[in-house]
Structure 1
Amino acid sequence: MSLNVQPRPTTTSILQARHEFLDKFEAQLAGSLQWQDCESPAAYRKMRREGLNGFPAPILNPQARTVTVSARDGHGIELRIITPTKQESKGVWLHFHAGGFVIGSNASYDTYLTTLSDRLGLTMVSVEYRLAPEHPFPTCLHDCVDAALYTLSPIGVRQLGASLKVLGGESAGGWLAVSTGLSLRRDHAIDVRSTLDAIVAGYGIFDLTYTPSLLGHTRNLILSKQGMMDFCEAGFGHIPMLERKSPLVSPLYADVKQMPPALFLTGNVEPLLDDSVFMAAKWQQAGNEVEVAVVDGACHAFTIIPMQDATQEGLDIIVQFVQQNVGS
């Protein structure tokens, strides 16, 4: 079985328009306030929620509801739930939001999750996992695994109205989707290949010692080389670099046998391009079903931040993959 890592075909005019958009977007972002420039990460998160950091405030789905479940240390994990409006739910997608392990929340991407919920007929359950640097690794992973265990429990299925089908997320959330699946298999003896229908990882980081595409990246479109490294240091800085090749930290070095079908989605104007390509190759070599989708002229976060037709293409890829793999 071959693994195609070429960008998906697009016309010259569409590609030119995408690159012109990215050039303008990069110029617009130049000099924008970063979380490192604020008095605290919490202060930046507040600005982001209020639309004061150069991006509009998130648009919330008024129909979303929340439940709180217990983490292993007693902390309350809030789950934000968005259900399909046009059909009965076929299952649960447990979602892990983007934000470099430092920023973002389970309410950051209601528009994106509402779109996926309605197109796929799935209940989107987004996890409010604890953030670095206040809560460095492994707290975020523990929260996400504990949330997954809840969704797999009888009470979770009853309260959510459907069973867990998909683990998925973007950027740091892509790392969490893969790492949560691996932890369920490794630490909780769950047969994730038969329990889950799919993992969807958008432009995630899978090697915390950094891949060539990150080390050689020169642009600053949502995520720069230094910005990614700053995020990683906030969450994993207490772990020496050589020890970050541990499969607990870098899934690229994990045993990924007997895992569910996975989609690794990325753009090719992306510092973490190699992470998706390398992880997909590892997935395939382990005997799992996998698709790697590279969108030409797309940068980091292109599915969750509107970027014209590149965003629509990314959403269509996700929907097609999930529809092909998730049963009713």
Structure 2
Amino acid sequence: MSDFTIKVNPASPESLKSRSAAMIKAEEMCQSQPAWYSLSTVAEYRKKRAEGLDGFIAPPLHAGARTIYAPSRDGHQIELRIIQPLKEPKGVLLHFHAGGFVIGSCKSYDNYLLHLAKELYVTAVSVEYRLAPENPYPAAHQDALDATLFALSPAGEAALGSPLRVLAGESAGGSLAMWVVLALRDQGNDVRSKIACIMPSYPIYDMTYTPSLLRHEREAVLSREGMMRFVDAAFPDVRGEARKDGSVSSLYADLRGMPPALFLCGTEDPLVDDSVFMGCKWALAGNESEVVLVPGAWHAFTLIPAGEVTEEGLGELIRFAKKYLP
């Protein structure tokens, strides 16, 4: 087994009380709004989210962001949203956005990516992968891999201005980041030499569900039913035991030969078991692995501003990436 740490960060009673109050507030907001699957179309929900009409604040856009397009295997163009650091970049952080494979956009998290770009001196590049149910598995996965192969190519490196160094993503985006690095390895690439590190935050790695999701009773940003409906929408033709295939659920894949990884999750997240289980298996396969659990934090706590708990999560991402960037 390679270097492995697993820790629950310290938190004072006052901090835990504040986080619990913020989680209750988030839960009340989510329960007051119609779920994405209760509307007539998913497109209707996506529009409400983009306009800030679903209880969340409309995503602010960074005026300095630019867009280029990467080719895909089936001919469509994959939008890449690029946010530059203030100084010469150390490399590219390729980002896959959250949203259960169903909602979200590369335009959803400009402030988050701008913060990472500034702190790490990286060019943050977010991928507009195709969404379910209109484009079910493997469309999003293929887009994520094609965008990564473009970033690794001479043409992609020239267009982005520096080499790809970090893969990152949150929730479904973290699942895609994990799937991509495994797919690269399976294509014969030495991913340890190409990718400095990978940072998947609170993803799902088991599409047949871990105990923490099956037992989850709350609804702060992500509920048990919501996650299951996301998976059913994204993988409609993959059912039952077929979902345990490593090409669908990364927890069951061969994990050898992987770069260092940070598995970041909150203790109140329904997917906390996914990060703990995957972090342990990552290390058992001979890879550097850190599992960091943030007490009292819920799903998407690094993306949705919630004070000191958000800062703690961002700080962990920055600390880890700095270890592996030149």
Q: What is the TM-score of this pair, normalised by structure 2?
A: 0.98
CA RMSD of aligned residues (A): 1.0
Quote the residue 1:184 is aligned against: 184
Quote the residue 1:173 is aligned against: 173
Farther off after superposition, 41-50 or 207-216 = 41-50
Farther off after superposition, 18-27 or 169-178 = 18-27
Quote the residue 1:26 is aligned against: 27
Question: Residues 6 and 324 from structure 1, CA distance in 2 versus in 1: closer, same or farther, beyond 3 angstroms?
Answer: closer
Quote the residue 1:254 is aligned against: 253
Supply the distance in 2 between the matched residues of 1:26 and 1:4 (Cα, whole angstroms).
Answer: 31
Q: Which structure 2 residues correspond to residues 149-164 of structure 1 after superposition, within 5 A?
A: 149-164=149-164
Superimposed CA distance per residue, residues 122-177 of structure 1 (whole angstroms, 9 cap, x where no aligned partner): 00010000000000011100000000000000011111110000111000001000
Quote the residue 2:212 is aligned against: 213
What is the SS of the residue equivalent to 2:57?
coil
Does the aligned pair in 2 maintain the 1:33–1:54 contact within 8 Å? no
The residue type paired with residue 64 of structure 2 is Q
Does the aligned pair in 1 maintain the 2:198–2:261 contact within 8 Å? yes
Supply the distance in 2 between the matched residues of 1:267 and 1:25 (Cα, whole angstroms).
Answer: 15
What is the SS of the residue equivalent to 1:269?
coil
Question: Residues 72 and 2 from structure 1, CA distance in 2 versus in 1: closer, same or farther, beyond 3 angstroms?
Answer: closer
Superimposed CA distance per residue, residues 3-56 of structure 1 (whole angstroms, 9 cap, x where no aligned partner): 554421111111111112212221232231221122211111111111111111
Q: Which structure 2 residues correspond to residues 56-67 of structure 1 after superposition, within 5 A?
A: 56-67=57-68
Quote the residue 1:231 is aligned against: 230
Supply the distance in 2 between the matched residues of 1:4 and 1:225 (Cα, whole angstroms).
Answer: 28
After superposing on structure 2, the runs of 4+ consecutive aligned residues of structure 1 that deviate more than 3 Å are 1-6
What is the SS of the residue equivalent to 1:30?
helix
Identity among equivalent pairs (%): 50
Quote the residue 2:90 is aligned against: 90
Is residue 2:285 matched to residue 1:300?
no
Superimposed CA distance per residue, residues 101-135 of structure 1 (whole angstroms, 9 cap, x where no aligned partner): 00000000000000000000000010000000000
Quote the residue 2:40 is aligned against: 39
Does the aligned pair in 1 maintain the 2:4–2:288 contact within 8 Å? no
Supply the distance in 1 between the matched residues of 2:24 and 2:33 (Cα, whole angstroms).
Answer: 15
Quote the residue 1:53 is aligned against: 54
Supply the distance in 1 between the matched residues of 2:8 and 2:297 (Cα, whole angstroms).
Answer: 10
Residue ranges of structure 1 left out of the alignment (5+ in a row): none
Farther off after superposition, 44-53 or 218-227 = 44-53
Q: What is the TM-score of this pair, normalised by structure 1?
A: 0.97
Supply the distance in 1 between the matched residues of 2:239 and 2:51 (Cα, whole angstroms).
Answer: 36
Does the aligned pair in 2 maintain the 1:77–1:129 contact within 8 Å? yes
Supply the distance in 2 between the matched residues of 1:3 and 1:307 (Cα, whole angstroms).
Answer: 29
Superimposed CA distance per residue, residues 51-102 of structure 1 (whole angstroms, 9 cap, x where no aligned partner): 11111111000100000111100011000000002x1010001100000000
Does the aligned pair in 1 maintain the 2:5–2:289 contact within 8 Å? no
Superimposed CA distance per residue, residues 218-253 of structure 1 (whole angstroms, 9 cap, x where no aligned partner): 110000000000000000121111100000000000
